[in-house]
Structures are given as structure tokens and as C-alpha cells.
Amino acid sequence: MEPTIRFSDKEILLAHGSGGKASRRLIEGLIVPILSSPELERLNDAATVKVGSDDVVVTTDSFVVSPRVFSGGSIGELAVNGTLNDLAVSGAEPIAITLAMILEAGLSTQDLTHELLAIAKSARDAGIEIVTGDTKVVEHGKADGIFITTTGIGRMHQNAQLSVERARPGDRVLLSGPIGDHGITVLLARGEIDLQADELVSDTRSVWPFINTLLDTFGAEVKWIRDPTRGGLATTLNEFATAAELQVLIDEENVVINPPVRGACEVLGLDPFHIANEGQFVAIISDKVAAHAESLLKSMPGGHNARLIGSVTEGSVPIVLCKTAYGVTRVLDMLSGDPLPRIC
Amino acid sequence: MEPTIRFSDKEILLAHGSGGKASRRLIEGLIVPILSSPELERLNDAATVKVGSDDVVVTTDSFVVSPRVFSGGSIGELAVNGTLNDLAVSGAEPIAITLAMILEAGLSTQDLTHELLAIAKSARDAGIEIVTGDTKVVEHGKADGIFITTTGIGRMHQNAQLSVERARPGDRVLLSGPIGDHGITVLLARGEIDLQADELVSDTRSVWPFINTLLDTFGAEVKWIRDPTRGGLATTLNEFATAAELQVLIDEENVVINPPVRGACEVLGLDPFHIANEGQFVAIISDKVAAHAESLLKSMPGGHNARLIGSVTEGSVPIVLCKTAYGVTRVLDMLSGDPLPRIC
């Protein structure tokens, strides 16, 4: 059967890698129809594969962040934690990771060593092993220093019952911390914009300890989790609303946005809800355990900015609404275009 | 503990991606010491990871072949079969594959579609599913069209007992077909050399059907298998000799080399034993079943050029020797440098 292709763009643009609307058109209109795999069509960040009697959770991501090194992290660290987080938001405990590197000829051994050390440290911190890998080299000018692709292998947490179908009106939206730190940090690290924010660092980290605690404690009361990376929190919540066929109402006052992020976004005309995060997650959780979940996260190291930011509501059109500090309600749309390419 | 680094090159060169001596120095001198993982230190093409009660076999590879399309295949097809072959030579039946693409802005949708169709067909032919993926886009000039990283998930064949420690003097060396077809095909596709060989096509294919048959039929009599890709057959046999602490004696007359490959190598001063293959494997197998194994492979579609090409011998220095048609014995060394970068 011929695949039904619904992608009419003649060439690939940066926006197709943004994680927003253009990415979805490429993925849903071209890639998924041609590859026609039932597991792929679920568009989850991770897939579940039966091996013998066990379910194995697997996820893969390429990292092309520019610049390679930024305040609070670097591509090597991101390549480990980003992939662990895709396992984590699927409810899977990380077991192992694979590492494939594409190096540009002329890359200094010192720079490569920096990233290998970052990879080793992140893996060690997460208690996992890099089990296999591959290294390719391309001519100078045919890549950009280092591209890294990691694949994570994990095992589903025994209490995890994460599925968008289990979300109900009345469920609460729990956010793990401030938004926009990673995207704005990387943007400023490029030095193209005359802004300084010395206190701002990327939020990049593994979120598994938080999610593990939530699943241990609340099990099936946790309905759905995602990490709002490319496309930001607004895109992630829109993906939830569309898949769940429900609405989401966010109270902007409860969303923590660090002053340097708020300032940079105002100056640059960006919406912090569209800026990428690398160490945050958003969970849809039953109302009856929501307050307990928030206080539990707050009690954990690095969790003090966790907040209940809104609710799932009934509605005929899947949409994300945001009540601003001025009492106005605005529509939080998915990212379209790409204000900040190559942030991961 | 500080890792012991034995890599003194100041920068990364194309030769570090060749699969030969320079690659080994980079991997064994820098990457493996820093990442310090016991599974990685085995330097196998695939790792075995315990998930629940089952052993999962996992392998990852990046593909950067240039040009993307060549006689008999393309990068998309290679990205599936190359990874399936890394599972296969580990004795693992493929179950699923993941797909991460790095696209260069400006890539035509037509070219991307060509590769997606090639990926879909190769996966379908192998009876496996692309279960999850990722797509990144980098600026024009920061990549080279399409880079693909695939990760294969497999399950060990129940009869597989592949381990270099099980090789013994007297074992035979079984090669699945002609050598050098892939590397020379890609080289000629670049159009930089004024040679034509219209009948030459890449050998790229999945070798799992052959290996599955060998393991079904001969089980533990099959001691070790590898696919002689980057660095060619000579590099693979040297890796075996070094790991096994044994010698290998090859009878050159039994190695099938297609005339266009022989001709191109003579003109260009290349050794066909150093040229990459993408659809071949070499197996170390007990003498008592070797003739049967050869005839069994020959009876399979695409297996008619399978040959017993030599033997494992005792010796104090691990080395690969090759008896030529003229009765002279030469040393077959690992590839050093890189005559043909980016062949996979």
C-alpha cells in the first residue's frame, strides 16, 4: 500500500527541527506514513519492545546543540540526560545507554575529551553504563564539531500506568520547576545577542529521581508525563490536549520563570512558554494526590520550584488556555517556526 | 580514579574514522578509558544488557556515507542493514530498530523521501519495525545532507555461543562472499576517479538469514563471527588474531574478488583486503562442520560465493598470513590511514 504523504514543503528548513508545528508536519506528514510502524505512530518519546518475556523501553535522540558548551552543561552531558529523561517520562528506569558520535575532522582532542568526561560523569551520576558505541569522522566543513546520538534502554517502573487516555477533567498539571532556563542559556552562550545573565544556567539534569518518587508514591494516580524540551511547555501541553481531546487551563502566576529568562524574552519578543527546557517535566496527576505530590517534589533536592500550575478541563476543542496575572485568558499555541534552532 | 589516556594526537583526523589502526588508537586510547564501562571494554559490535530476566542485545551505528546513493544501495538502506548485521554477527535475531536523523537545512524533500522509502523497505524485508526515532535539523553547511544513526535491539539465538575464547587452532575461516564490492562501488560513485565498472554494485544486505541458518544447524561449532566493514577483511582478521592470541592463515586463491574490484585496486594501489564490505561476514567454525557449512551457505540465495578461505593456527605472535597465488606468503596487516573515508 502506498503511504499517504501530507507534506508539501520542497525542502527541509531549520523550523522542521524545532519540535513545534513544522516538526509535526514533517514527522506526521512524511516520516511516519512512509515508515508505517504501529509503535512509531504512537509518537511517544520512547517505544516498548517485547524481548522474550520482558518489555524493554527504548528511546533515541540526536544532539546537535550549538554552542557545544554553555553555562551549566554541554552536548555530552545533554546527550546522556536528554535520553534518560525520555525514558523517565515514559515511566522507565534507565538501565543502559549507547553512544554514537559523528566527529568533524579538525576537532581538537581537548574538546572531544571534555565531552567524553561529561558523558562519563552524567552516566555515573545516573548509575548507568555506556554499553556500546560507534565513532564516525567526516571531513572538516561537513559537520559541526560533534554530533552525538544516544539510545536509552530501560525497564518500566512497576507502578507506571502512563497513558493519555487515562487523563480526566479535574486532573491537575504539575510542573517540576522554572521554564526557559535551558533555551535562553544556550541562546546567550551564542554571543549573538547583547544580553548578559550571569546567574542563569541551563536546567539540564536527569529527572528520573523525581519521577521515580512520584511513581513509587502515587502509582496510577500519575496519568501522563512529558519533558517540555523543543517547542517548550506550550507545545507539550498542546500535544497533551490534542491527544487527550481535552482542554488545559494554566494559571500563569503559578509558573516559575526566572527573572533573566523573563527579561530576555521581553527584550527578544519570545514567549517563555515556547522556550526549551532540559531538566523539567510536566505531569498530569489526579486531583486527590496533587497537593501531596507537589509538596513531595518540593522536599527533594532541586525540586523546590515544583508547582501545580493548572488543571485539565472538559471542552469541545482541544486547546491550552493561560490565565495571566492581569486576569486575561490567552490561548497558548504550539510553537510555529523556530526562534531558537539547535538548542539540544 | 583518573582514566589512563594513551592518545596523543592533538586533533581528530579522517583516519580516526577508518576502522583501522587510527580508529583503534582513538577508541582504546581515549574513548573507552574515559567512559570506563566493562561492557564497552569488550569492544564488541553489540552489547548484552540484562532487562528483567532476559538478555537484550543492543548495537548502535551512525551512517555518513558519501555519496548518499550508490549502485546497489543508499544511506537509508545501509543504516538498517548495517545495524541488523551488527546484531547478526553477535548471534542476535533482530527485533526492532530506532532511527535518529540529522538533516541539513536545504535538503530536498525528494532526497529525504528516497531514504525514508529505503529505510522502510529494508526494515520490511528484514521483518522488523522502526519503533521510535528523532529528527534534528542543522543549518546549511553544518552537516552533509543526511546523517542517520540506527540502534538495533535483538535477542540472542538460542544456539549462539560466539566468543573469541572458544576459537582453537585447526578451526576454519568461512567467508560469505566476494570482498571489496561496497567500498569500490562507493569510491566510484564519487566520480573523482576516472574508472567505470558498470557491473559492480554494493554488496549491502542483511546477513542474518545466513547466520541464522549456521546457528540453527551448527550451534556451538560456530565460534566467532564478524562483518568486515571499515578496515576490510584484513582488519577484521587481525582483530580476531589479536583477541584470540592465535594466527590466521588465508589462502588468497579461495577469496573471491570480483574483477572490477581487483582492477580498481590495482590501478589505485589499494589492497582489496582493506576495502569495506557491507553484506559479508567471516566466521570461525570447527573444522569438522566447515565443509558442510560452506555447502549450506552456497545453497542459499546470494550465498554461492561463500568459501572456506583459511585456517586458525598456533603461533606466538598474533598475525594474519596470506598465501598468494604465486606461493609467496605475505603478512596481512590492519588498515592504517584511510584510503576511503565515509564508506558507511
Report yes or no: B85 at the A interface, CB cutoff 8 Å: no
Domain total of chain A: 2
More confident residue, A259 or A340: A259
Question: Could you identify the residue written with the cell 582478521?
Answer: B237
Same-domain check for residues B210 and B303:
yes
How does DSSP assign A52-74, residue by residue? TTEEEEEEEEEE--SSSEETTEE
B-chain residues near A116 (CB < 8 A): 30-31, 34-35
pLDDT of A1 reads: 61
Check: CB of residue B342 under 8 Å from CB of residue B70: no
Same-domain check for residues A101 and A202:
no
Same-domain check for residues B120 and B263:
no
pLDDT of B145 reads: 98
Interface of B with A in 285-344 (CB under 8 A): 341-342
Among candidates B277, B176, B290, B268, which has minimal Cα distance to B223?
A: B290
% of chain B surpassing 90 pLDDT: 87
* C-alpha grid cell, residue B261: 574490484
B-chain residues near A101 (CB < 8 A): 62
Query: Cα(A206)–Cα(A279) distance, rounded to whole angstroms?
Result: 6
How far apart, in Å, are the Cα atoms of A311 and each of A233, A293, B94? 14, 14, 43
Same-domain check for residues B172 and B211:
yes
Instruction: State which of B129, B156, B183 marks the end of a domain.
Output: B156
Q: Regarding beta strands B329-331 and B320-323, do their DSSP bridges make them parallel or antiparallel, or are they unpaired?
A: antiparallel
If pLDDT is split at 50, 70 and 90, which confidence band does B245 have?
very high
Check: CB of residue B66 under 8 Å from CB of residue B192: no
**Which ranges constitute the DSSP H helices of A151-193?**
181-189
CA distance B91 to chain A (A): 15
The minimal CB distance from B60 to the residues A3, A5, A134 is found for A134
pLDDT in tens, A212-248: 999 999 999 999 999 999 999 999 999 999 999 999 9
Kindly give, in sequence order, each residue whose CB lies less than 8 Å from that of residue A288, ignoring residues fewer than 6 positions away. Answer: A221
Residue B161 pLDDT greater than 80, yes or no? yes
Residue B6 pLDDT greater than 70, yes or no? yes
Q: Can you say how many angstroms the Cα of residue B40 is from the centroid of all Cα atoms in its chain?
A: 18
Q: How many residues does chain A have?
A: 344
Same-domain check for residues B248 and B280:
yes
pLDDT of B198 reads: 78
Cβ atoms within 10 Å, residue B245: 14
- Is A34 within the bounds of a domain? no
Among candidates A148, A129, A133, A127, which has minimal Cα distance to A79?
A: A148
Check: CB of residue A43 under 8 Å from CB of residue A27: yes
pLDDT in tens, A62-107: 999 999 999 999 999 999 999 999 999 999 999 999 999 999 999 9
Check: CB of residue B307 under 8 Å from CB of residue B294: yes
Same-domain check for residues B256 and B127:
no
Kindly give, in sequence order, each residue whose CB lies less than 8 Å from that of residue B106, ignoring residues fewer than 6 positions away. Answer: A11, A12, B140
pLDDT of A286 reads: 98
- Write b or e for each residue in B88-116: b if 16 or more Cβ atoms lie within 10 A of its Cβ, otherwise e: bbbbbbbbbbbbbbbbbbebebebbbbbb
Question: Could you identify the residue written with the cell 512524511?
Answer: A30
- Is A16 within the bounds of a domain? no
- Is A98 within the bounds of a domain? yes
* C-alpha grid cell, residue A155: 525497564
Query: Cα(B179)–Cα(B168) distance, rounded to whole angstroms?
Result: 25
Contact call for B123 and A35, based on CB within 8 A: yes
If pLDDT is split at 50, 70 and 90, which confidence band does A251 have?
very high
pLDDT in tens, A40-59: 888 788 999 998 888 999 99
Q: What CATH number is given to the structural domain containing B55?
A: 3.30.1330.10
* C-alpha grid cell, residue B331: 603478512
User: What helix, strand, coil percent values describe chain A, rounded to 5?
Assistant: 35, 25, 40
Same-domain check for residues B178 and B320:
yes
Residue B22, classed as helix, strand or coil, is helix
The minimal CB distance from B54 to the residues A31, A52, A141 is found for A52
- Mean pLDDT, chain B, rounded, equals 95
**Looking at chain A, which residue has its C-alpha nearest residue B62?**
A100
pLDDT of B1 reads: 61
- Write b or e for each residue in A126-146: b if 16 or more Cβ atoms lie within 10 A of its Cβ, otherwise e: bebbbbbbbbbbbeeebbbbb
pLDDT in tens, B40-76: 888 788 999 998 888 999 999 999 999 999 999 999 9
The letter for the amino acid at A144 is: D
Kindly report whether the peptide bond that precedes residue A339 is cis, defined as omega within 30 degrees of 0: no
CA distance B286 to chain A (A): 29
CA distance A209 to chain B (A): 19
Cβ atoms within 10 Å, residue B10: 9
- Is A11 within the bounds of a domain? no
Kindly report whether the peptide bond that precedes residue B3 is cis, defined as omega within 30 degrees of 0: no
How far apart, in Å, are the Cα atoms of A204 and each of A343, B13, B174? 12, 31, 49
Instruction: State which of B156, B186, B219 marks the end of a domain.
Output: B156
Three-state SS letters, B33-52:
HHHCCHHHHCCCCCEEEEEC
% of chain A surpassing 70 pLDDT: 100
Query: Cα(A185)–Cα(B295) distance, rounded to whole angstroms?
Result: 63
Same-domain check for residues B86 and B194:
no
Q: What CATH number is given to the structural domain containing B276?
A: 3.90.650.10
Contact call for A14 and B52, based on CB within 8 A: no
Q: Can you say how many angstroms the Cα of residue A325 is from the centroid of all Cα atoms in its chain?
A: 26
pLDDT in tens, A255-298: 999 999 999 999 999 999 999 999 999 999 999 999 999 999 99
Per-residue DSSP letter, B164: G
Disruptive mutation site among A9, A129, A149 for chain B (greatest number of B CBs within 10 Å):
A149
If pLDDT is split at 50, 70 and 90, which confidence band does B199 have?
confident
Report yes or no: A54 at the B interface, CB cutoff 8 Å: yes
Mean pLDDT on B90-117: 97
Instruction: State which of B94, B127, B156 marks the end of a domain.
Output: B156
Among candidates A144, A263, A34, A275, which has minimal Cα distance to B140?
A: A144
Q: Regarding beta strands A129-138 and B329-331, do their DSSP bridges make them parallel or antiparallel, or are they unpaired?
A: unpaired
Q: Give the side-chain half-sphere CA count within 13 A for B13.
A: 16
If pLDDT is split at 50, 70 and 90, which confidence band does B126 have?
very high
Same-domain check for residues B197 and B234:
yes
Kindly give, in sequence order, each residue whose CB lies less than 8 Å from that of residue A136, ignoring residues fewer than 6 positions away. Answer: A100, A101, A102, A103, B17, B62, B63, B64, B342
pLDDT of B289 reads: 98
pLDDT of A4 reads: 87
Query: Cα(A245)–Cα(A238) distance, rounded to whole angstroms?
Result: 10
Three-state SS letters, A280-316:
CCEEEECHHHHHHHHHHHHCCCCCCCCEEEEEEECCC
How far apart are the two ends of chain A, measured CA to CA in Å? 36
- Is A199 within the bounds of a domain? yes
pLDDT of A185 reads: 96
How does DSSP assign A210-257, residue by residue? HHHHHHHHHGGGEEEEE---TTHHHHHHHHHHHHHT-EEEEEGGGS--
* C-alpha grid cell, residue A344: 539540544
Contact call for A56 and B60, based on CB within 8 A: no
Same-domain check for residues A200 and A238:
yes
pLDDT of A282 reads: 98
Among candidates A139, A138, A122, A141, which has minimal Cα distance to A130?
A: A122
Nearest 5°: CA angle at A286, between A285 and A289? 95
Name the least confident of B160-169, B179-188, B328-337.
B328-337
- Write b or e for each residue in A282-319: b if 16 or more Cβ atoms lie within 10 A of its Cβ, otherwise e: bbbbbeebbeebbebbeeeeebebbbbbbbbeeeeebb
Q: How many residues does chain B have?
A: 344
Check: CB of residue A240 under 8 Å from CB of residue A250: no
- Is B6 within the bounds of a domain? no
Question: Could you identify the residue written with the cell 598474533?
Answer: B318
Mean pLDDT on A117-122: 97
Same-domain check for residues A149 and A177:
no
B-chain residues near A62 (CB < 8 A): 100-102, 134, 136, 147, 149
Q: Please state whether the predicted TM-score (pTM) of the whole model is above 0.80.
A: yes
pLDDT in tens, B208-224: 999 999 999 999 999 99
A-chain residues near B15 (CB < 8 A): 137
How far apart are the two ends of chain B, measured CA to CA in Å? 36
Check: CB of residue A100 under 8 Å from CB of residue A149: yes
The domain of A226 spans 164-331
- Is A28 within the bounds of a domain? no
Report yes or no: A134 at the B interface, CB cutoff 8 Å: yes
How does DSSP assign B238-280, residue by residue? HHHHHHHT-EEEEEGGGS---HHHHHHHHHHT--GGGS--SS-
- Is A192 within the bounds of a domain? yes
Same-domain check for residues B115 and B180:
no
